[in-house]
Amino acid sequence: SRPYVFVTRKISEEALAPLKDIADVHCWNSESEAVPEEVLVEHARKADALLTMLSDKIDQSLLNMAPNLKVITNLAVGYDNIDIKAAAEKGIVVCNTPDVLTETTADLTFALLLATARRITESERYVKEGLWKSWSPYLLAGSDVHHKTLGIVGMGNIGQAVAKRANGFGMDVLYHNRSRHQEAEQQLGATYASFTELLRKSDFVVCLTPLTEKTRHLFNKQAFEEMKKSAYFINVGRGQVVDEKALIEALENKEIAGAGLDVFYQEPIEANHPLLKFPQVVAIPHIGSASVETRTTMMELCCANIMAVLKGEQPKNKL
C-alpha cells in the first residue's frame, strides 16, 4: 500500500502534487489554525511521514505513538520544536529547510532593524490616525543606521547575509558565534567578539541564534545591562533565547533604546502583553522567511525530502 503522509497545515497544492503521485497525502484543513493535538496524534499513528510547522510540538510521547514514522520535515530552518534526539533513537530522519530562506530572512531582519531605528510603524500609525498636523524638526526622529556598529549573535548563513547588507550601509560588523567564521571575517569584514564585548560595543544587537539548552535565556538581565542605552535589540531567532521579563525591565528602565521582535517567548503573543505597550518596540508575527516565493520553495523542499526518504534515497536536508 502507498505510504501515508500527514501535513499539519493546508499548504500549496502545487508543492504537494509530486508527493501525491507516490503517497496518500492528508492535510490539516486550515491555513491559519494549528492542528489540534488529538488530530495530529490520530494521523501520526498511521503516518510514514510528517510535514510539520515550527508551531507543532513533536515530542517523545508523540513519536512513541507513531510506529511507522520514517521522516519528519519541518517547514523552517529552526527545529527546536522537534525532539531530534528521540527521533534519532527511533531511526526517524528529520529535515529542515536551510539555505532557501537565507536571503529572504536577511531582508526581513534588515527591514525590522530599519523600522525600529527609524520608527516606521509608529510613523505610519501617526499619519493614518490623523495626528500629523505640521512638519517639525524632531517629529518622529529616530536613530541613524548607516555607519553604526552591528553585532550579530549567531553567524550562520542568515547572519552572513545580514552582514552583507550591513556592508552596504557602511556599518562595522561584529559577530559572536560558537566558533570563529574565517569566511565571514575575510569576505564580509566581520570581527569576532566575545558575547560581552559585542553587547558593549554594538548599536544594534541582532539575535539569530537557534534555540538550544545553551542559548535559552542568553539575553538576560545582565546582557541587557551590558548594552548601550542607545542600542536596539533585534530578534529574528527564537523568543526563548530572551528572558522577556528582563527585556521588559530594560525597556522600562531605558537601559536600551528599543527592540524589533519577530519572535516571542509564547507565540502568538497576547495583544495585552506588556511588551506590546512600548512605542519603541516593533512587533511582527514570526514572518522572517515569509515571502510567497520562499515559503513555496520551502514547501517544495519539504515534499522533496519526504519523497527521497520514502524512495530509500538520501534526503538533501537531513539534520
Short-list 76, 110, 54, 104, CA closest to 260: 110
Q: Cβ closer to ligand GLV: 150 or 310? A: 150
Q: Is 78 in the site for ligand GLV (CB under 6 A)?
A: yes
Residue nearest to ligand GLV (CB): 156
- Ramachandran bin of 118, using left for φ above 0, alpha for ψ from -120 to 50, beta for the remaining angles: alpha
Residue 295 among the catalytic residues: no
What is the residue type of 52? T
The Cβ of residue 60 has, within 10 Å, a number of other Cβ atoms equal to: 13
The answer to whether 156 contacts ligand GLV (rule: CB under 6 A) is: yes
| Binding-site member from 143, 157, 167, 220 for ligand GLV (CB under 6 A) | 157
Catalytic annotation present for 125: no
The neighbour count for residue 211, using CB atoms within 10 Å, is 18
The CA-based dihedral angle spanning residues 262, 292, 4, 56, taken in that order and rounded to the nearest 10 degrees: 10
Residue 299 near ligand GLV by CB under 6 A: no
- Region of 82 on the Ramachandran plot (φ > 0 left; ψ -120 to 50 alpha; else beta): beta
CA 160 from centroid of its chain's CA atoms: 15
Q: Give, as one character, the DSSP assignment of residue 312.
A: T
Q: Which stretch binds ligand GLV (CB under 6 A): 97-105, 125-133, 137-145, 251-259?
A: 97-105
Contact status: 235 vs ligand GLV (CB under 6 A): no
Which of 15, 54, 87, 310 touches ligand GLV (CB under 6 A)? 54
77 binds ligand GLV (CB under 6 A): yes
Q: How far apart are CA 303 and CA 5, in angstroms?
A: 10
Which of 104, 289, 294, 305 forms a contact with ligand GLV (CB under 6 A)? Answer: 289
Those residues whose C-beta lies under 8 Å from the C-beta of residue 203, and which sit 6 or more positions away, are 143, 148, 149, 150, 228, 230, 231, 232
Q: Which of 238, 244, 295, 300 is catalytic?
A: 238
Query: Which one of 124, 267, 270, 313 is the catalytic residue?
Result: 267
Smaller CB distance to ligand GLV: residue 149 or 317? 317
Residue 267 annotated to the active site: yes
Per-residue binding string, ligand GLV, 195-234, x by CB under 6 A, is ----------------------------------------
Place of cell 520535515: 73
Q: Which of 52, 73, 81, 102 binds ligand GLV (CB under 6 A)?
A: 102
Footprint of ligand GLV (CB under 6 A): 54, 76-78, 98-99, 101-102, 156-158, 288-289
What residues are annotated to the active site? 238, 267, 286
